[in-house]
Amino acid sequence: MRLGDGELAINFNAVEPGLFFKDDDTGLIKAGPTHVGATAPNASGVGFTSNSLGESWLDTTSTHVLKIYDGTAFRTAKAVVSRSAGQPSNPEDGQLHYDSSASNLLMYDATAAAWVTI
């Protein structure tokens, strides 16, 4: 059975729970919650071929980075700001980072592949 426009569906699966609804344009929309983990959520609704446009994921691989699904891939939501002793291992271009061990505010320049002191 397929959802009608505006109809709600609840997935109570422990791995990827969520509240979904169907719209008349993009298909299935995930209203929440945000997936938290080191790997992107990869489950699409039954009868749909991909994640929901606008679906969110808190990537915990290195620095906690919020990513949003744009219909093709999960993209980093700007601006990324972090704080820790030392520097994150997987920075994003333009990321601001406060290195608490050196008391420095840094910005990551992906072109130079380097942290720049601000």
pLDDT in the model for residue 16 = 67
Res 77: pLDDT? 81
Q: Write down the pLDDT at residue 63.
A: 78
- pTM, rounded to two decimals: 0.52
Q: Is 6 left (phi over 0), alpha (psi -120 to 50) or beta?
A: left
In the chain, which residues have pLDDT < 50? none
